[in-house]
């Protein structure tokens, strides 16, 4: 048994010291997966990005599909909330390098809310691992009910579902540091109200965010790469009519990528943001933290596949589970 553990440790150490992992690769990019809770995702919290910026004549493309399962209910003083349903989000994004350290791009999501079909799987998963399920078994599976009341009045009562285009986002980034192992960029995102607040596909407002993104490869001479983001979003009204919405939000992330081999990575990531609403309910008024686990693999010369699972570390501030698959390329 001791020899087996020694052999396993040797393999792990060899992987961490792999010289091929020292140079940063597009595979090391963090997961672009922010909070998909239905009353938060309307604001499109910017996802994590690396500190590198596309060079002249370089382009990037990405097509992502997220499925977020929500179940929570709570009452505090004059407020109550029920979030029970699923959100599917398909997002197309692209970017281009302009030279002189500049990059521009866009992202356009399509969003659907319905009862979904993951409730049974999640209940069995919680039962198998002995995890709390928030009384899921006491309520019908695969139903849709997003309801929020304040002062005895229904601010939101969303049961029929809906789908449509979300808010169009334009982004730009400027390189501040660009050497072999370290990258730092300043990034900005402008979201336009092309979605529909009545369908929970948009925030019905224009808002701006600024973020600083930094990446470092070959940490301590190993096959690990790290990425960090910190930023702020300014909200110009919009959101749920009648909800006490804040005028700005801070967000950030920290990610580690392990180069297990030249063509695939294992990743762990933390995403967080401050509350969007002034509320006694955790679902609206508490700061959010998510844990993302997964990996990336090269499927062709230019194309990569990301697979990620997100869990709400700050319970009830984000979906119970989010599954993401994303195809992305750089030319």
Q: What is the pLDDT of residues 37-96, one digit of tens each?
A: 999 999 999 999 999 999 999 999 999 999 999 999 999 989 999 999 999 999 999 999
Number of domains in the chain: 1
- What digits encode the pLDDT tens for the residues 123-179? 666 666 666 666 666 666 778 999 999 998 999 999 998 999 999 999 999 999 999
Half-sphere exposure of residue 216, counting CA atoms within 13 Å on the CB side?
A: 8
Q: Is the pLDDT of residue 203 over 70?
A: yes
195 pLDDT exceeds 80? yes
The SS3 assignment for 125 reads helix
CB 165 within 8 A of CB 195: yes
Q: What are the tokens at 50? A: 């690396």
Domain interval for residue 94: 2-330
Helix (H) or strand (E) holding 9: helix 2-16
pTM above 0.75, yes or no: yes
pLDDT at 1: 41
Rounded Cα gap, residues 239 and 259, in angstroms: 41
CA 309 to chain centre: 10
For the chain, the straight-line distance linking the first and the last C-alpha, in angstroms and rounded, comes to: 48
Q: Please give the Cα distance from 226 to 95 (Å, whole number).
A: 22
**pLDDT band, very low/low/confident/very high, at 302 (cuts 50, 70, 90):** very high
C-beta of residue 317 within 8 angstroms of C-beta of residue 284: no
**pLDDT for res 134:** 61
How many residues can be counted in the chain? 331
pLDDT value at residue 238: 82
Shortest CA distance to 284 belongs to which of 150, 174, 121, 129?
150
pLDDT at 6: 41
pLDDT at position 63: 98
What is the band of 190 on the pLDDT scale with cuts at 50, 70, 90? Answer: very high
* 94-98, 136-140, 311-315, 327-331: range with lowest mean pLDDT: 136-140
Residue listed under structure tokens 């973020």 = 211
Euclidean distance between CA atoms 321 and 41, whole angstroms: 14
What pLDDT score does 307 carry? 98
Q: What's the CATH code of the domain at 40?
A: 2.40.160.40
């Amino acid at each position: 048994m001791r020899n087996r553990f020694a052999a396993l440790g040797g393999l792990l150490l060899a992987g961490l010291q792999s010289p091929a992992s020292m140079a940063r690769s597009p595979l090391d990019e963090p997961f672009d997966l922010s909070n998909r809770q239905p009353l938060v995702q309307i604001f499109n919290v910017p996802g994590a990005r690396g500190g590198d910026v596309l060079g002249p004549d370089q382009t990037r493309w990405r097509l992502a599909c997220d499925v977020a399962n929500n179940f929570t209910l709570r009452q505090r003083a004059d407020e109550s909330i029920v979030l029970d349903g699923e959100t599917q989000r398909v997002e197309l994004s692209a970017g281009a390098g302009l030279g002189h350290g500049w990059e521009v791009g866009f992202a356009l999501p399509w969003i659907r809310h319905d009862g979904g079909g993951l409730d049974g799987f999640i209940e069995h998963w919680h039962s198998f691992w002995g995890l709390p399920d928030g009384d899921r078994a006491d309520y019908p599976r695969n139903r849709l009910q997003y309801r929020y009341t304040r002062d005895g009045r229904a601010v939101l009562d969303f049961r029929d579902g809906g789908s449509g285009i979300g808010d169009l986002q334009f982004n730009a980034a400027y390189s501040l540091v660009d050497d072999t192992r370290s990258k730092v960029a300043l990034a900005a995102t402008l979201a336009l109200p092309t979605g529909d607040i009545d369908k929970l596909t948009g925030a019905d407002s224009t808002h701006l965010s600024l973020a600083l993104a930094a990446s470092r490869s070959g940490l301590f001479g190993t096959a690990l790469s790290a990425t960090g983001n910190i930023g702020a979003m300014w909200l110009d009204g919009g959101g749920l009519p009648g909800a006490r919405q804040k005028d700005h939000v801070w967000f950030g992330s920290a990610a580690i990528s392990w180069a297990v081999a030249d063509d695939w990575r294992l990743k762990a990531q933390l995403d967080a943001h401050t509350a969007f609403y002034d509320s006694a309910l955790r679902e609206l008024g508490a700061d959010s933290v998510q844990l993302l686990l997964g990996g990336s693999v090269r499927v062709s010369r230019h194309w990569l596949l990301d697979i990620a699972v997100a869990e709400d570390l700050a319970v009830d501030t984000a979906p119970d589970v989010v599954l993401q698959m994303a195809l992305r390329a750089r030319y």
